[in-house]
Amino acid sequence: MMDQNPFKPIQEMLIAKPVPKVDVKEKVMVAIMAKKMEGKKIMKKKIGLLLIASMLVGASSVWAGMKMIELKNEKGEVVLTMSQYTDEEQQKVVQELPQEDQTRLAEEEKELERKSEIMTNIMNDLKPGTTAAVYWVPKNEEEDKNIVWSKHAPNITVVSNPVTYTSWKDMQPVVGKMFTLPTELGGTFKFNEGDVLYEDSDKYDAEAMKAEAKRDKKEYVVKEIPSSDKFDYATVSYRSEKGGIRAEVRMAEEGNAHTGTNAQVMEKVMVGNNEAVLTTHKSGNGDAFNWVIWIKNGTKLEYSLRASEKVVSKEELLKLAKQLNEVK
């Protein structure tokens, strides 16, 4: 089943602090879509929907025909490829599946959403700056042997609750050697709060957690583990009387990074001398959110800036992105 309000995840992302992504079962091609739909909840229905469909019917049939935009750096090298798959296109893929697969898809999506709620609660219960590993008892261990798992041991999910900084002065000692963020944007948007997130820790004992789950007949086991010190990304909200905008800086993937969007509109734009991609997400009531992403020339950093059109227009957002990009 499709979300009755597919625009809600985008709204959540704009008003809530993003949280670390969580790896779920995925085949290699699913990575194209998996990175950017991060928000208030741990897993997102929109990504989960196509992810599950790709496992049911094969990745090539799900991802065929997607629109793509490539971004190049000052050397002409492709550094980011974004693929577009709108909610309508996702729904069409689902409707073309055999009824049996549609039923399985709906069941798997419902299960992912249930686990998402559990994982979000686990994360919220963590003290700021701490990390936990979660082992999930598989429904079918034999099937899991045929799954390509990314990063973690099978059935392990890692979540962290980041420390929140209320000023750039406090945040600068943590990330200042890598990049600088302004204390204000456009003269009216002031630094509100920021988080620094790190890559998932691998300091867990999967076998011990598996044994505990089996012994105590648990659905999942949670263990607090040492946090990673390897930077993943930083996120900062800026606010004015008009509302909020959010900036992110993350380590760009080596080579050509692949990411995806379910936005209705995707276009290539310029942020200063940088090629960038601008996506527009529209709701049923006419609201729109814009999101601009680019890899800063001469660095290995990926920047993004997003806001509602009620707060700033598309043109204003690009001006703010240019200011962000010019900060040394």
pLDDT, residue 195, reads: 95
The model's confidence at residue 2, banded by pLDDT at 50, 70 and 90, is very low
pLDDT, residue 182, reads: 96
**Distance in angstroms (rounded) separating the CA atoms of residues 249 and 10:** 18
Q: What pLDDT digit, counting tens, does each position of 66-111 carry? A: 788 999 999 999 999 988 877 787 777 778 778 887 888 788 778 8
pLDDT, residue 229, reads: 95
Q: What pLDDT digit, counting tens, does each position of 139-162 carry? A: 876 555 545 455 667 889 899 999
CA 147 to chain centre: 22
At a CB cut-off of 8 Å and minimum separation 6, what does 205 contact?
223
For residues 253 and 321, the model is more confident at 321
Q: What pLDDT digit, counting tens, does each position of 239-293 carry? A: 999 999 999 999 998 888 878 788 899 999 999 999 999 999 888 777 899 999 9
Q: Tokens for 236, please give them.
A: 């900062």
Say which residue the tokens 């390897």 belong to.
Answer: 230
User: Is 65 within 8 Å of 264 (Cβ atoms)?
Assistant: no
**CA 224, 229, 230, 234 torsion: positive or negative?**
positive
The model's confidence at residue 188, banded by pLDDT at 50, 70 and 90, is very high
Answer yes or no: is pLDDT of 17 > 60. Answer: no
**Distance in angstroms (rounded) separating the CA atoms of residues 134 and 155:** 8
Q: Tokens for 313, please give them.
A: 């227009």
Residue 13 neighbours by CB distance under 10 Å: 22
Q: Tokens for 261, please give them.
A: 């969007």
Q: What is the mean pLDDT of the chain?
A: 80
C-alpha R_g of the chain: 20
pLDDT, residue 86, reads: 79
Answer yes or no: is pLDDT of 328 > 50. Answer: yes
